[in-house]
Amino acid sequence: METIRHWINNEYTAGAPEDRDTADVTNPATGEVTGRVHMGTAATADEAVAAAKAAFPAWRDTSLTKRMQVLFRYRELLNARKEELAALITAEHGKVLDDALGEVTRGLEVVEFACAMPHLLKGGYTENASTEVDVHSVRQPLGPVAIISPFNFPAMVPMWFFPIAIATGNTVVLKPSEKDPSAANWEAELWKEAGLPDGVFNVLHGGKPAVDRLLEHPDIASVSFVGSTPIAQYVYETATATGKRVQALGGAKNHMVVLPDADLDVAADNAINAGFGSAGERCMAISVLVAVGDIADELVAKIAERARTLRTGDGRRGADMGPLVTVAHRDRVAGFVDAGEQAGATVVVDGRQGSYDAEGSGFFLGPTLFDHVTPQMSVYTEEIFGPVLCVVRVDTYDEAIELVNSNPYGNGTAIFTNDGGAARRYQNEVSVGMIGVNVPIPVPMAYYSFGGWKNSLFGDSHAHGTEGVNFFTRGKVVTTRWLDPSHGGINLGFPQNG
């Protein structure tokens, strides 16, 4: 059984002497405990932050050219060995191998974006803004920064942040989920192989005590978080109270609106892909399908036909859908299915029944499809984070818009239609941060920002893109005049340009 330790100053450590508690790491496809991860608390958090603080001055002053050499080496190593990381993700998270490889590939795109940092950090220069006075602007790194990432994307979500943080000259303390911690350690080893100096990238394992210390630590300059809305709000309020810059991405209830003119076969395929990929454990998963007009019966039948063909099982065996991450989460999702049935929703496809292609006692729940769901039911109001797709029927486009906009979440949404005018109206009127037109999971490219509205984001900065560059840097403006005897003398008036 593997022991998963912290990574501080480019080497593994068990952490502070008083931190010796561990937690089980499980293969969710088999139920087998495959490792034990050290659970750091405030003491080990202090060690990780101290390493990042000590490394910051030298890394900040390292030239952009040398920083980019490390970034490019990291990119090449990651690209060459991405299948290795994908297998590690599948073993601890449970998602199927091609989905895990897709996660790594999307994270790699952010690394490639960060490789353009010399261009992205270019400031402005104005010569002779006033007589013989020049003005220029620069962006400089913050210092040690904290990243707190969720279980559902153990590689991609940290890569939304740390390539940009490192490229801009910051040092990093990453706190991954204790449910699937090995991907973070693998990435740390890769950074060392790429030539990253000691202390620039550190991995702290643990639970709430470790997180709380990062949120309050005086040497942490910023916090990047992805997780549920209640925890995102807690992270935002706690960290900003200590003067930190915070981007806290929360939960989602993503709606896919299907208009009567849409190609229903295409819509059904995409509802399956977006609803049941990664067993629904995605913040960009479609969990609500809004059927507009008289298409619901036909569309539900097409989705049900496809859902029944999906093979659920061990992600290493070529299954379509893997297990849920823990037995507790599987039971929670199954409880929502029970509640939806009791509330009067029609169970069209029941994921509580069926067989699974796996050995052992994995944490499986098959694809589940509800019809006739109403906005008052818990399967609609709560973020289930599992393979449960709910169909809500409305009569008109206006009702669909009202449904989406009245939801407290605003992460992602999609509309399926062949009417360009309707699509343009939807993208303009909907109060959601990321919108897909005939695209069910509208995750932006790395050079655009990722982030939602309403209760899906706390703070005003989205992940990656130029917003990410701005988040991990601060602006500084320098006004310069080289001394000239003609500018001598005393003048207490406010400086005037001229």
What is the DSSP track for 262-294?
S-HHHHHHHHHHHHHGGGG--TT-EEEEEEETT
**Alpha-carbon distance values, 356 to 31, 313, 475 (Å):** 13, 5, 54
Q: What's the pLDDT score for residue 487? A: 62
Asked if residue 76 and residue 61 are part of one domain, the reply reads: yes
Same domain (yes/no): 129, 18: yes
The domain that holds 154 is classified in CATH as: 3.40.605.10
pLDDT (0 to 100) of residue 498: 67
CA angle 352–374–436, rounded 5-degree value: 85
Cα separation, 438 vs 175, whole angstroms: 36
pLDDT of 295: 98
In this structure, what is the dihedral angle of CA atoms 447, 453, 456, 460, given to the nearest 10 degrees? 70
486 inside domain: no
Q: Nearest-CA neighbor of 340 among 380, 289, 292?
A: 380
Same domain? For 384 and 291 the reply is yes
Give me the number of domains the chain comprises.
2
Residue 496 inside a domain? The answer is no
20 burial (CB, 10 Å; 0-12 / 13-18 / 19+) is: exposed
Q: Do residues 344 and 223 share a domain?
A: no
| Residue 367's CATH number | 3.40.309.10
Range of the domain at 59: 2-251+451-478
Q: Say if residue 295 is in the same domain as residue 236.
A: no
Angle between helices 97-114 and 156-167 (to 10 degrees): 10
Cβ partners under 8 Å of residue 90, min gap 6: 96, 97, 100, 315, 316, 322
Question: What string of pLDDT tens digits covers the 498 residues of the chain?
Answer: 899 999 999 999 999 999 989 999 999 999 999 999 999 999 999 999 999 999 999 999 999 999 999 999 999 999 999 999 999 999 999 999 999 999 999 999 999 999 999 999 999 999 999 988 999 999 999 999 999 999 999 999 999 999 999 999 999 999 999 999 999 999 999 999 999 999 999 999 999 999 999 999 999 999 999 999 999 999 999 999 999 999 999 999 999 999 999 999 999 999 999 999 999 999 999 999 999 999 999 999 999 999 999 999 999 999 999 999 999 999 999 999 999 999 999 999 999 988 999 999 999 999 999 999 999 999 999 999 999 999 999 999 999 999 999 999 999 999 999 999 999 999 999 999 999 999 999 999 999 999 999 999 999 899 999 999 999 999 999 999 987 766 667 778 887 776
Q: Quick one: pLDDT at residue 58?
A: 98
**Residue 235 domain-assigned?**
yes
Instruction: Report the candidate in 457, 180, 174 with the shortest Cα–Cα distance to residue 329.
Output: 180
Q: Are residues 305 and 391 in the same domain?
A: yes
The helix/strand count (H/E) of the chain reads as: 16, 23
The answer to whether residue 116 sits within a structural domain is: yes
Q: What residues act catalytically?
A: 283
Same domain? 240 vs 320: no
Residue 446 included in any domain:
no
Classify residue 150: in a domain, yes or no.
Answer: yes
Q: Are 351 and 372 in a shared domain?
A: yes
Please indicate, yes or no, if residue 307 is contained in any of the structural domains.
Answer: yes
In this structure, the answer to whether residues 170 and 308 fall within a common structural domain is: no
The pLDDT, as a whole number, for residue 1 is 85
For residue 88, how many C-alpha atoms fall within 13 Å in the half-sphere facing its CB? 20
242 and 298 part of one domain: no
Q: Is residue 492 part of a domain?
A: no
Q: How far apart are CA 397 and CA 289, in angstroms?
A: 13
User: Based on the domain organization, do 308 and 174 belong to the same domain?
Assistant: no
* Residue 221 and residue 305 share a domain: no
